[in-house]
A and B are shown apart, each in its own frame.
Chain A
């Protein structure tokens, strides 16, 4: 069974939020939407035991939000602290201004930046590029499944998807269940004689490594 990956969408403009929701639903994501930072923080807090979005798209300027007690910087800082393995894209009309970029990167040093002026389609295309990752002889399809290209075998666990999507970065897993899933994925790679192997760095930190001599792209 495949669980649709969750995406957190934080946008104060109703029309834009609905457009984004539609775009991501068509890509088979499960959107968690928030029109204010307060609502986004509440979603993260209330769902922390049941869901971990693979992706968050955060509008930097939330001035139209009904509640301005918290802002997008607070959301980013919370994502960095509590869901460090969630890919974060921050988009803004002023993404070229170094002060805006500095504030974003201080709140979430790993956040990706996107220019809002490029439009929603460009954002969704970028997400697709980020999630349809290829590593050695592995490929992630639509952010939901890891495929071993030579055998077409599939591995469905979302922690495996996280590892491939984040390659070559280190991913920290936060539960025994997740680390067991990661180890099973490592065994799956060995069984399939994959050109990719799992590297354990201790303290629940893992990353993937492509064996030397293996092609970076199997196709």
Chain B
């Protein structure tokens, strides 16, 4: 077997629907440090190099919940990911050119790890991330929606994306009659989770 194909047999490239954090760095130190900081059942850490980023993103079904990177250059496709999918992005060190406004940056690793854990532990309207994948709702119910997982983790900053990117999350909330919806925040213009009053309720008030 050639070295290249052998490398792509590694577990970090296995397709999986569990919540994934793609840790992209040149030497792996970032991935190792993150693995030490995050409870393993909350998210899978995929420790990859810059040239493996696309393969790692493709392995995350439907997309990586979070990308954490380091170094002055971002993988070429990071901006594409940011412009199409609600992935939370954190960067250790100065933000790479072209993506600065959309990502969380910090010069200290403890801040980066703290940010990751804050996102993993966040609760919005009684909803929080379940172990591995999905969302735990009030009364012990569980649902799966990648866009809703992103909105909860990324709350309250939200995402610079069209509202239609959050249709599955909105559908889940509507079906379960949970009074929160993805909405555009007036101040930032980002899509965030916000309390929602149904038109029927508004009329009856």
Q: Which residues of A contact B (CB under 8 A)?
A: 73-74, 76-78, 80-81, 84, 98-99, 101-103, 105-110, 168-170, 199, 201-203, 205, 207, 209, 211-212
Task: Answer yes or no: B132 CB below 8 A from chain A CBs.
Answer: yes
Task: Answer yes or no: B14 CB below 8 A from chain A CBs.
Answer: yes
The answer to whether A99 touches B28 (Cβ under 8 A) is yes
Q: Which residue in A76, A102, A199 is a CB contact (below 8 Å) of B31? A: A102
Q: Which residue in A106, A109, A201, A209 is a CB contact (below 8 Å) of B144? A: A201
Task: Answer yes or no: B131 CB below 8 A from chain A CBs.
Answer: yes
A72 to B41, CA, bound (A): 24
Chain A neighbourhood of B85, CB < 8 A: none
A150 to B133, CA, bound (A): 30
18 contacts between A and B (CB under 8 A): A76-B11, A78-B9, A80-B10, A80-B14, A102-B31, A105-B35, A105-B45, A106-B11, A106-B28, A109-B12, A109-B47, A110-B40, A169-B131, A169-B132, A170-B133, A199-B142, A201-B133, A205-B133
Chain B neighbourhood of A99, CB < 8 A: 27-28
A53 to B86, CA, bound (A): 38
Chain A neighbourhood of B17, CB < 8 A: 203, 205
The answer to whether A81 touches B47 (Cβ under 8 A) is no
Chain A neighbourhood of B44, CB < 8 A: 109-110
Instruction: Give B8-62 interface residues, CB cut-off 8 Å to A.
Output: 9-12, 14, 17-18, 27-29, 31-33, 35, 40-41, 44-48
Number of A-B contacts (CB under 8 A): 83
Q: Which residue in B9, B40, B48, B134 is a CB contact (below 8 Å) of A81? A: B9
The answer to whether B11 touches A102 (Cβ under 8 A) is no
A80 to B46, CA, bound (A): 13
A197 to B132, CA, bound (A): 16
Interface 0/1 of B124-166, CB less than 8 Å to A:
0000000111100000101010000000000000000000000
Chain B neighbourhood of A209, CB < 8 A: 140, 142
Q: Which residue in A102, A110, A199 is a CB contact (below 8 Å) of B47? A: A102
The answer to whether A168 touches B10 (Cβ under 8 A) is no
The answer to whether A102 touches B32 (Cβ under 8 A) is yes
For B136, the closest partner residue in chain A by CB is A209
A73 to B13, CA, bound (A): 14
Chain B neighbourhood of A102, CB < 8 A: 27-29, 31-32, 47
Task: Answer yes or no: B108 CB below 8 A from chain A CBs.
Answer: no
Chain A min CB distance to B11 (Å): 3
A167 to B140, CA, bound (A): 16
For A102, the closest partner residue in chain B by CB is B28
Chain B neighbourhood of A103, CB < 8 A: 28
Contacts A102-B31, A109-B46, A199-B142 given; does A73 touch B132 at CB 8 Å: no
